[in-house]
Amino acid sequence: MSLNSHIEWTDATWNPVRGCTKISPGCKHCYAETFAERFRGVKGHPYEQGFDLRLVPGKLAEPFSWRSPKLVFVNSMSDLFHPEVPDEYIEAVARVMAAANWHTYQVLTKRANRLHELLNGRLRFAAKAQNIWWGVSVEDKKYGLPRISALRQTPARVRFLSVEPLLEDLGTMNLSGIDWVIVGGESGHGARPMAKEWVISIREQCRAAHVKFFFKQWGGVRKKRNGRELDGRTYDEYPQRIAAEIPDRSSCTEFAAKVLKPLHKVFPPNPLIRIAR
């Protein structure tokens, strides 16, 4: 995990999978790819293999070692529901999230159909967990809006949208069943612009539907200068967090060992499991 994430809507990131492949226009300037590729070939670096997809079972234990409750963005450097991540491994990640339940996990995907399929099947136990929020990315009408429909029909205690990078006016959205919406513009070199009226439209729809609204940033080439105020204020709303108490250190270690033992039998902690491309 990485503490003190710079991502505005989370505390920490946890990456039991690394790497991904592009699927839609929102991926064009993927920050994870840019970051990972910078370290391709650097011996011993976690991103020595660049952005190639691989499982990192050695990371499964990490949430148990965190002694204070965190908001944890799961797979900030990948997509848990990527088609090449085995169902068994996704279940292992979900078992850890359901067990280390003093944290609140934010799982975000662009593979909404697989999310839908698994939460209706082998991940049903995790769909019921109060401490796991399930979300989809929405960048435009063509790719993003169908993901909202898939998420709405997915059993989950908390459902959220990450509308970032917002690439066009999304028009009227159906926000029923959605608890939280994050909006942000693209940042960095070549950032595609985001119009204020697109953001206002989403904020007003959230207000009307009683959905929590978080405005992350305007983005742009100079992200810091453009800031994150909308109409003179910031919007930092979140769904209610319901997390369990942290067990004392020794029972936590015992508990972690019990949860991890069967998972590590299938996915031993040391090797990186590379997925052939």
Subset of 79-118 contacting ligand SF4 (CB under 6 A): 79, 110
Alpha carbon 216 to its chain's center: 14
User: Using the rule CB under 6 A, is 23 a contact of ligand SF4?
Assistant: yes
Question: Given candidates 12, 27, 166, 181, which one binds ligand SF4 under the rule CB under 6 A?
Answer: 27
Sequence-ordered list of residues with C-beta below 8 angstroms from that of 265, at least 6 positions apart, any chain: none
184 close to 10: Cβ distance less than 8 angstroms: no
Nearest CB to ligand SF4, comparing residues 11 and 33: 33
Q: Rounded to whole angstroms, how far apart are CA atoms 252 and 246?
A: 8
Note if the bond before 69 is cis, omega within 30 degrees. no
Nearest distance from residue 31's CB to ligand SF4, in Å?
8
User: Using the rule CB under 6 A, is 275 a contact of ligand SF4?
Assistant: no
User: Using the rule CB under 6 A, is 22 a contact of ligand SF4?
Assistant: yes
Question: Given candidates 10, 18, 33, 267, which one binds ligand SF4 under the rule CB under 6 A?
Answer: 33
59 close to 14: Cβ distance less than 8 angstroms: yes
User: Using the rule CB under 6 A, is 20 a contact of ligand SF4?
Assistant: yes
> Phi-psi bin for 64: left (phi > 0), alpha (psi -120 to 50), beta?
alpha
Sequence-ordered list of residues with C-beta below 8 angstroms from that of 28, at least 6 positions apart, any chain: 22, 192
Nearest CB to ligand SF4, comparing residues 109 and 154: 109
User: Using the rule CB under 6 A, is 186 a contact of ligand SF4?
Assistant: no
Nearest distance from residue 20's CB to ligand SF4, in Å?
3
The binding site for ligand SF4 (CB under 6 A) comprises 20, 22-23, 26-27, 30, 32-33, 78-79, 110
